C-alpha cells in the first residue's frame, strides 16, 4: 500500500458530569471537528450526548438520554452525505435488595428511522424501538 495523501484536523471535545441535587445526575459531552482537505467518510463533524438519571425513591432510578450525530460524508470525494440524526433512550432500574436488581431499557424510544452508515449504494438503518429487560442476582 502506498500513502497518496494526507489529512489534518482540529477539534474540541467537552465533557461534564455532576449532581444537580435531589437525586438527579447529569452527564453531557460534545465534539466538533474541522478538517483541512477532505473529511473522512462516515465521520460526523459534530456529535453530542446528554444522559440524566434520577433516584426518585430508595432503590428506584429513572434514566433518559439524547444522542445526536451530525451529517457525515459517505464518499471520499465529499459529494454525498448521510443526514444527521437524534435518538432518545429511556430506562428504569429497581433494586429491591442489595443482591437483586431489575432494569428495563428502551432504545430509540420514539422509533425513529435513521441511517448510521451508507455503503455500496445503500444505507444501514439503525435498530427500531428496542426494549431490553434484565435481572441481576448476586450471591
Please say whether the beta carbons of 117 and 82 come within 8 A: yes
pLDDT (0 to 100) of residue 133: 98
69 CB-contact burial (10 Å; exposed 0-12 / middle 13-18 / buried 19+)? buried
Q: Please give the chain's pLDDT, 139 residues, in tens.
A: 555 567 788 999 999 999 999 999 999 999 999 998 889 999 999 999 999 999 999 999 999 999 999 999 998 899 989 999 999 999 999 999 999 999 999 999 999 999 888 877 788 899 999 999 999 999 8
CA angle (4, 47, 90) in 5-degree steps: 140
Amino acid at each position: 500500500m502506498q500513502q497518496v495523501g494526507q489529512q489534518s484536523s482540529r477539534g474540541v471535545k467537552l465533557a461534564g458530569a455532576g449532581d444537580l441535587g435531589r437525586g438527579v445526575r447529569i452527564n453531557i459531552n460534545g465534539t466538533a471537528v474541522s478538517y483541512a482537505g477532505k473529511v473522512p467518510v462516515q465521520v460526523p463533524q459534530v456529535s453530542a450526548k446528554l444522559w440524566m438519571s434520577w433516584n426518585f425513591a430508595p432503590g428506584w432510578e429513572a434514566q433518559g438520554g439524547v444522542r445526536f450525530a451530525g451529517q457525515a460524508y459517505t464518499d471520499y470525494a465529499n459529494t454525498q452525505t448521510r443526514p444527521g440524526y437524534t435518538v432518545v433512550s429511556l430506562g428504569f432500574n429497581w433494586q429491591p435488595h442489595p443482591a437483586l436488581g431489575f432494569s428495563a431499557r428502551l432504545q430509540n424510544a420514539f422509533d425513529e428511522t435513521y441511517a448510521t452508515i451508507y455503503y455500496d449504494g445503500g444505507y444501514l438503518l439503525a435498530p427500531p424501538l428496542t426494549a431490553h429487560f434484565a435481572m441481576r442476582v448476586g450471591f
